[in-house]
Structure formats: C-alpha cells, structure tokens
Amino acid sequence: MTTIGIDVGGTSVRAGVVDHRGTVLDTARGSTPVGETELEDVICALVDELRDRHPITAIGLAVAGFVADDRRTVRFAPHLPWRDAPVADRITARTGLPVVLEHDANAAGVAEHRFGALRGAHVGLLIALGTGIGAALLLDGEVFRGAYGVAPELGHLRVVPNGRRCSCGKAGCWERYCSGTALAATAIGLLGRHRGQSTILAREAKRDPGGITGRLVAAAARDGDPVARLALQELAKWLGEGLALVADIYDPELVVLGGGVSESAPLFLDSAREHYQRIATGAGHRPVARIRTAHRGDSAGLVGAAALAAHS
C-alpha cells in the first residue's frame, strides 16, 4: 500500500510516494503560491502527477502551521495563505482520496519514531533546528498535541531574559539563539568584536553584509574560522540551556535533533550535551536524555504525513 506525503512549506511544496517501510519511491515538487486556491491547485497537480505512476490510497499533508484537533482544518499558518481553512475536505473533494493533516514538526516526529532515530523511545522529543525551532513530543509513538493542538511550541520558551526580539512578540525566545537564523545573527554580532580574528566571515561580510546565513557560518566553522566557531559554541551553550528546561518539563529519554542546523552537529553537539548534563536539575544523580541527530533528513515531514495517511 502506498500513500502520498506532502510537505507544504513557505517556499516549496514537496510531495512523495511512500511505502509502508517509510521508503520514498517517487517525488514531485512545486513552489508555494500566494493564494489559497492556487496552493490547493499546486497540491492537486502534484497528486495527479504521482498517482499517474503509482497506486495511491490516501494523502497526508505536513503543514507549517497550527492544525485543528480533528486534523481536517488549518487554523493558522504564518507563511501560508490558509486561515481556518477546511483543507482536508477540499483536497478530498478534488482528488477523491482520504486526506489527513498534521503539523510539520509532528509529522517529522512520527517519521523518526516509526522509521528513524526516535524508534523505540517511550518519551521521545524531536527538535528541528531550522529557520526557527519546531518540536514534536511522541509518547509511545503517539503525537502529544496539548488540549488545543498547539503543543509543544518549544521555540518560544524564554531562555534569555531581555534577550533578542522574536517575531512572536516576546524577547529571548529559544529559537532566537539556536536556529539557523540565530546562528547568523550571533556570528554577525561576534564579528563586530573580533573582526581581526576572522578570515572567512569577515571577507564575506565585506562582500555582502546580508549574505551571512547559518549555513555559511557552519561552513566557515568547518574551514576553521575562529569567529564562526565561537558562534557555534554560543549556539551549543543555549542549546544545552534550553534542553535542560525541556528536560524539567518532559523528562524525555531521547531527544533527536533535526533541521538544517543539525547537519553541523559534529561542530556543537558534544559541547551542548556537556552543558546540558552539567546544568540539568539533579545533575549527576539522575539519568538524562540521550541526544542524537535525526536520520530522515528533510524528507521526514512528508514521510511522517504519508505514514499517518496510511493509518487514517
């Protein structure tokens, strides 16, 4: 039995045909348009393209936004046009296939639990470090959504009092210190104070001051740039700090780090782990969560959505 998983993000819509082992057999993609009808047109076109080549029994959509409890309506998605939109029913009406919706981080968590790094965890947490921070809590493989479908919004835990402003309206949120965007901001701040020490980042900042991204900082750190390495050390410290907070709330046995930033884990993970283990409440007298990186990469959202569709 094969299903289609579709990751609906702010810039692109990526679809894949997925089998019961979580293997992606075929893919198709389009860019995310501005209007909601146009977005549904793109989704249906990708479904038509893939079902021409494979037998399909259901569709799962991984959405970067809040999904209602019944998983049929998108309540709000900051980078997508849907507002209280009955997306599942609309796509079913146009394709004749059952449709299930899931928050993208939850979908990725499901994929990691069924087929990847969270397998076997009773209390497992996926933390996706990308443009912001997305998180999913899996309890014996079931997604924990909270009472209103919003949990766990860990990226907006306040880790730094009076810290950097966040788009959510607060200041000092975890994702302002541990996302790819945050890594770039940290590096730019450090560059002001250590300009003489940096070769790669300083050169890049001179060429194009807006061109410093998290990815570029990670690449510069791999090439030995001291300021980029300092920026990753800062990220490691705040990651450890946030993980200790999260451990006080959920006491997970396993934390899996995903998202683009996790690809640079060799540059910061040991240090984050050490910091976390040192400051965790009851440190030295309790077991602490293991922390490892995700296995399913950026296809996790669509694989998880496809798996949920297969069991809907």
**Residue 156 engages Zn ion in binding (rule: CB under 5 A):** yes
Closest separation between CB of residue 245 and Zn ion, Å?
Answer: 14
Peptide bond into 152 cis (omega under 30): yes
Q: 131 to each of 29, 64, 256, 259, how far by Cα in Å?
A: 20, 12, 17, 9
List the structure tokens of 284: 């030295």
Separation between Cα atoms, residue 164 and residue 170, nearest integer Å: 9
Q: Is 44 in the site for Zn ion (CB under 5 A)?
A: no
Which position among 168, 202, 219, 269 is part of the footprint of Zn ion (CB under 5 A)?
168
Measured from the CB atom, the residue of 115 and 177 that comes closer to Zn ion is 177
Record the tokens describing residue 270, joined without a space: 């040991």
Residue whose CB is less far from Zn ion, 97 or 151: 151
Tally Cβ neighbours within 10 Å of residue 169: 8
Nearer Cβ to Zn ion (77/173): 173
Q: How far is the CB of 286 from Zn ion (least distance, A)?
A: 29
Window of 53-61, 132-140, 158-166, 220-228 that interacts with Zn ion by CB under 5 A = 158-166
**Nearest residue (CB) to Zn ion, 54 versus 158:** 158
Q: Which is nearer to Zn ion, 45 or 171 (CB)?
A: 171
Least Å distance, CB 166 to Zn ion, is 3
Return the range that interacts with Zn ion (CB under 5 A); candidates 144-152, 170-178, 182-190, 212-220: 170-178
CB closer to Zn ion, 168 vs 219:
168
Task: Confirm or reject binding of residue 166 to Zn ion (CB under 5 A).
Answer: yes
**Could you tell me which stretch among 20-28, 78-86, 114-122, 172-180 binds Zn ion (CB under 5 A)?**
172-180
Provide the minimum distance between the beta carbon of 312 and Zn ion in the complex, in angstroms, as a whole number: 32
160 binds Zn ion (CB under 5 A): no
Rule CB under 5 A: say whether 68 interacts with Zn ion: no
- Least gap, CB of 251 to Zn ion (angstroms): 24
Q: How far is the CB of 174 from Zn ion (least distance, A)?
A: 8
Supply the minimum distance, in Å, between the C-beta of residue 175 and Zn ion.
6
Strand 290-293 to 254-258 pairing? parallel
Dist CA 11 CA 84 (whole Å):
20
Q: What is the nearest approach in angstroms of Zn ion to the Cβ of residue 173? A: 3
Q: Does 173 bind Zn ion (CB under 5 A)?
A: yes
- In the bound state with Zn ion, the residue whose beta carbon lies nearer, of 172 and 297, is 172
Binding mask 115-154 for Zn ion (x = CB under 5 A): ----------------------------------------
Size of the site for Zn ion (CB under 5 A): 5
Which residues of this chain interact with Zn ion, rule CB under 5 A? 156, 166, 168, 170, 173
